[in-house]
Amino acid sequence: MILTRQDFLAHANLDRQTLEVWIAEEWLIPGRTESDPTFSEADLARAKLIGDLIDDLGVNSQGVGIVLHLLDQVHGLRRALSEVLKSVHPPAGPQARTLGGEDSGRP
C-alpha cells in the first residue's frame, strides 16, 4: 500500500513539521512521485517505532539515529543470511525426494 503525505500523517498521527524533521534526519526516506513524497507500510511501521522510542522510552535524537542504524543493519544481515541459507540448502522439491531423499521409496 502506498500512502500520500496526508494519509501518512493521519495514519502515523504526526504533524507535518515533525515529518519534515524525520525526513531531514533520514530516519524516513520516502519514495517520490512527480511532486510529492510517497510512503509505504514499512515507513509507517518505522514512524511508529520512532514515536515509541521518543515518546515512550525517552530516547533522544542521537539515540534514535543509532537505534535505527542498528535495526537497519540487523535487517540487512537477516536478508544476507537468508540468501546464504537458500544457496546452501535449496528448497526441497519432488526431484530432491527421488534423489535419495526421505521419500525415495526405498526401505
Kindly report the CATH number assigned to the domain that includes residue 74: 1.10.1660.10
- DSSP structural state of residue 44: H
Distance between CA atoms of residues 32 and 82, nearest Å: 29
Query: Does 69 reside within a domain?
Result: yes
Interval 22-34 mean pLDDT:
92
Q: pLDDT tens, 1-18? A: 899 999 999 999 999 999
Query: Does 24 reside within a domain?
Result: yes
Query: Does 87 reside within a domain?
Result: yes
Cell of 27: 530516519
- DSSP structural state of residue 107: -
Cell of 82: 537468508
The total number of structural domains in the chain stands at 1
Q: What is the pTM of this model?
A: 0.75
Domain that holds residue 60: 3-91
